[in-house]
A and B are shown apart, each in its own frame.
Chain A
Amino acid sequence: MRWSLHNKRLAAFAFLTGMIVTAAGVAATAPVDATRQAELSVLLEQDCGSCHGLTRKGGLGSALLPDNIAHFTDEALIEIILDGVPGTPMPPWRRFLNRAEASWIVDRLRQGTSQ
């Protein structure tokens, strides 16, 4: 269910982006390949983890386990990742992540950690 919504959203985004085949456009719509997934896993664990904890149980930042984020839509979480939360230490990650990558991170957050 969530996955199909996700795909629809990606498809809509790809459509909107249309034929603007700039380098950024390609990056924004390209699926997240295995190499990039490995990089994002490190980013999620280590850099998100520096405030939210390696196990996502929270630190100065809030806990990010599935129950903690259940009340947010995927879209809201993607926006938070890309644009940050003004007035709090949560910074915008748009400089480092495109929408598909933020969406991939949200999916990972929904899955929870193995611990």
Chain B
Amino acid sequence: MKLKISIAAIALLMLSACAEIRGTGDLGLIIERGAGSIQIVQTTDRESLATIEGLGDLSHASAVYSRDERYAYIFGRDGGLTKIDMLTHKIVARTMQAGNSIGGAISQDGKLVAVSNYKPGGVRIFDAQTLEPVAEIPAIGANGERSKTVGLVDAPGQRFVFSLYDAGETWIVDMRDRNNPAITKLRNIGKLPYDALITPDGRWYIAGLFGEDGMAMVDLWQPEKGVRRILDGYGRGEKALPVYKMPHLEGWAMANGHAFMPAIGHHEVLVAAEGSWKEVDRIAVHGQPVFVMARPDGRQIWVNFAFPDNDTIQVIDVPTRKIIKTLKPGPAVLHMEFTPRGEEVWLSVRDDNQVIMYDTTTFAEKGRLPVRKPSGIFFTARAHRIGL
């Protein structure tokens, strides 16, 4: 009898222990922009697992993941850097590291987290485990003034790369010796770089310029060659249209040997050949593109738009470069994220307080989750992608 009870007890213990063990590969988080909270979600069953409050001002927020995909680092607008445990749904570390921030990156080895700051302008680097400060890099450009920093990404060789918005420069920081950051400063890249992308192989860093028709490109295999202007004068002769929201550049928009990038001030997606970076095509779209993102297999490009066209999504077929679908998910579609292999996409519909999932082959709606003023969606599969 006793033996039976103890066997039952052990079996019960094992069962409950089993129930608690899970991987994190199908998890993700969604920023609740107005509430200063996040939801942790699971993409296999499209469900919300938890809401975590108290992350401060998330009006512009992004996230990166530790290489074990257990921890998320959330970069808030107010300079808050928060480390979240995706399994226990707890905040495990948090620091207010600046007054105003725009985003961050995690190093190649996963041991450093860097944050791009507007105020005070520069980049601060932290230990990924403890969030203790490791390095501070004030972004003082050739003009002698402190600049806002944008387009911060990780690059192979334990490097971080970012651009100086006010000064028009791109800096490469080598963190192999974490106590002695080695900084390469590339000057005069162009006016008002507003964001940047790094290609998925970590070779090409491309900054979008708000102040000019063109982009500034650095070959990170040969940074000594400096900055090269690409797609120069893409809007030449055309009147630039007003831009009601700054586009984002993300490294995913590489597909089939081509880069797909938002034009600024023109309702077009620019297509350039990877390597030569010559313009191959430009695709007329519904509005000012904000995110231009490739499905993980590179067959489709999904585009969302700035105000006042932000109720619409368009899908471009990569081989034909034609728009094959226009969707109207609802008011203010702010962001999209593909499931790791791209059979589904999740869209944040801010003013409907919904995240909507679509099948990327049939474009059928697959589900919805109520989320308060959703903005960025970040799945853990980003952990192993350079530049994300």
Chain A residues near B (Cβ < 8 Å): 42, 45-47, 49-51, 53-55, 57-60, 84, 87, 89, 91-92, 95-96
Q: How far is the CA of A92 from the CA of B244 in the complex (A)?
A: 9
Q: How far is the CA of A49 from the CA of B244 in the complex (A)?
A: 11
Contact check, B118 vs A58: say whether CB atoms are below 8 A apart.
Answer: yes
Contact check, A50 vs B100: say whether CB atoms are below 8 A apart.
Answer: no
B325 → chain A, closest Cβ, in Å? 26
Nearest residue in B to A54 (C-beta to C-beta)? Answer: B59
A–B complex contacts, Cβ < 8 Å, 12 sampled? A53-B57, A54-B33, A57-B78, A58-B118, A59-B60, A59-B118, A60-B102, A60-B165, A60-B246, A84-B242, A89-B194, A89-B210
Binary interface profile of B, 26-70, with partner A (CB < 8 Å = 1, else 0)? 000000011000000000000000000000010110000000000
Please tell me which one of the listed residues B60, B118, B210, B351 contacts residue A42 in the complex, with CB atoms under 8 A apart: B351
Please tell me which one of the listed residues A53, A92, A95, A96 contacts residue B59 in the complex, with CB atoms under 8 A apart: A53
Chain B residues near A (Cβ < 8 Å): 33-34, 57, 59-60, 77-78, 99-100, 102, 118-119, 148, 150, 165, 192, 194, 210-211, 242-246, 307-308, 332, 350-351
Nearest residue in B to A56 (C-beta to C-beta)? Answer: B59
Q: A53-B77, A60-B165, A96-B308 are in contact. Are A91 and B242 (CB under 8 A)?
A: yes
Q: A46-B332, A46-B350, A47-B307 are in contact. Are A55 and B243 (CB under 8 A)?
A: no
Q: SS class of chain A's interface: helix, strand, loop or mixed?
A: loop
- Of A60, A92, A96, most buried by chain B (CB within 10 Å of CB) is A60
Residues of A contacting B243 in the complex (Cβ-Cβ under 8 angstroms): 89, 91
Residues of A contacting B332 in the complex (Cβ-Cβ under 8 angstroms): 46
Contact check, B246 vs A51: say whether CB atoms are below 8 A apart.
Answer: yes
Contact check, A47 vs B245: say whether CB atoms are below 8 A apart.
Answer: yes
Contact check, B194 vs A50: say whether CB atoms are below 8 A apart.
Answer: no
Q: A59-B118, A91-B243, A92-B242 are in contact. Are A54 and B57 (CB under 8 A)?
A: yes
- Of A51, A57, A87, most buried by chain B (CB within 10 Å of CB) is A57
